[in-house]
Chains A and B, each alone.
Chain A
């Protein structure tokens, strides 16, 4: 990692995911979970090692192409000023594709936000904003979805509803996911595989049943 402090933030991490699998990345705060996600869509540059997407080294792909294929939802929604529809249409617009009103409405309906298209994105509640952020990422039709503690900033009820929503979207779209969470319970519910990290090193990796039994 390029950093003014010369120390390795993450090392010796190896995992593989088949299409449709969900990897839960667990570990304490500051263990390198988010760094791992940022290396996968190249928001940060690894000092060594490689990420392969369908057998292709991601360094061979243009960063924009890579990020279209690997979507990301962050801890906070970080919606852009403007309407919900403008936020949802943002990704495809970068590729010259303008989503029609009906396409946007259909995407919003999938996250139970039908009728929200013309709403000001910056006036939404936390749960609504995170749903828009999920829709915005999915509008790019990614092959892989990176989820960086997407429910950690939400209250208990909203957290559960967003979890249910994500679970159904992942199943429907057969999405490959890397889901960073600090909750073992969430990882147990959502993931097929678990990667446990501590101080930038892998402490456990395997199927959810194997890792949680150990």
Chain B
């Protein structure tokens, strides 16, 4: 219906954005009694999201005409932004920004580098930036879930953790059960994404590749590659994070710093 009113691609795009944004607002408006806070948050989040994604689109359009290595700057900026967002979720954890950035750089950076060396992700801006951003965004989400869950586990089990310490356990042993629980909870959505691939959802990359004329079979295989890569990066980020976080939750004298 919208293309009846809007004829240029840009005008149609803006109209579609407005329609989808208003639809999200309308849904929250219907459920305003159940989620009053979200109704206030959503307009700002939508505005922020649209500005950010349009800015990225403009940068990509500019970069496509420049050298390939500029994509590294974009990916670095994305990692910094991701670490900042994770840090906000994990405020109670001392030095959360350094923890988040190190974990994302190692997790997302290493897995991206391996896939580039293997030739799975071509060293082209048009591939590297979108695929890299998906990987970084997922490491961000998974790490936020992990640190948030870990904080909740630790603050609600201070007694058990201090009982372990009081019995002579190392900080690693005292925290192990809660680290495992947080790791599992944070990685379940990524595993479910892989498990439900094709049955519950057909992700964007496959849809895009098919629309641009690639063989559906190749597009399907490549989609699996992307999801498996995303999982590897997210899991590695959380593993690194789980190693780094123990030092930050305890003092040098094995005293728990994070309390309820």
B162 within 8 A of A: yes
A121–B168 Cα distance when bound, in Å, is 20
Residues of chain A within 8 A (CB-CB) of B164 are 80, 90
Question: Nearest CB to that of A65 among chain B residues?
Answer: B168
* Given the contacts A42-B255, A43-B255, A80-B160, A94 and B166 also touching, CB distance less than 8 Å: no
Judge whether B251 and A67 touch: CB under 8 Å: no
A95–B168 Cα distance when bound, in Å, is 8
Kindly state the interface size class of chain B when it binds its partner: 10 to 19
Judge whether A137 and B167 touch: CB under 8 Å: yes
Question: Nearest CB to that of B160 among chain A residues?
Answer: A78
Residues of chain A within 8 A (CB-CB) of B255 are 42-45, 63
Which of B27-35, B47-55, B75-83, B169-177 is the interface stretch? B169-177
B159 within 8 A of A: yes
Residues of chain A within 8 A (CB-CB) of B169 are 64, 90, 94
A170 within 8 A of B: no
Instruction: Write out, one digit per residue, whether chain A residues 8-27 have a CB within 8 A of any chain B CB (1) or not (0).
Output: 00000000000000000000
B7 within 8 A of A: no
Kindly state the interface size class of chain A when it binds its partner: 20 to 34
Chain A CB within 10 A, most for which of B164, B167, B169? B167
Question: Nearest CB to that of A136 among chain B residues?
Answer: B167
B163 within 8 A of A: yes
Min CB gap B61→A, angstroms: 49
B254 within 8 A of A: yes
Residues of chain A within 8 A (CB-CB) of B163 are 72, 74, 78, 80, 133
Min CB gap A116→B, angstroms: 19
Instruction: Write out, one digit per residue, whether chain A residues 41-77 have a CB within 8 A of any chain B CB (1) or not (0).
Output: 1111100000000000000000111011001101010
Judge whether B165 and A43 touch: CB under 8 Å: yes
Residues of chain A within 8 A (CB-CB) of B168 are 64-65, 67-68, 91, 94-95, 140
B65 within 8 A of A: no
Judge whether A42 and B253 touch: CB under 8 Å: yes
Residues of chain A within 8 A (CB-CB) of B173 are 94
A112–B108 Cα distance when bound, in Å, is 55
Considering the complex, which residues of chain B in the window 101-149 have a beta carbon less than 8 Å from any beta carbon of chain A? none
Judge whether A90 and B167 touch: CB under 8 Å: yes
Given contact pairs A65-B168, A67-B165, A78-B160, a sample of 14 additional A-B residue pairs in the complex whose CB atoms are under 8 Å apart: A42-B254, A43-B165, A43-B166, A43-B255, A45-B255, A67-B168, A71-B166, A71-B167, A74-B162, A78-B159, A81-B177, A90-B167, A94-B168, A140-B168
List of 5 A-B pairs having minimum Cβ-Cβ separation, nearest first: A91-B167, A68-B168, A78-B159, A72-B166, A78-B163
Give 16 CB contacts A-B under 8 Å: A41-B166, A42-B254, A42-B255, A43-B255, A67-B166, A67-B167, A71-B166, A71-B167, A74-B159, A80-B160, A80-B163, A94-B167, A94-B168, A94-B170, A136-B167, A137-B167
Interface residues of A (CB under 8 A from B): 2, 41-45, 63-65, 67-68, 71-72, 74, 76, 78, 80-81, 90-91, 94-95, 133, 136-137, 140
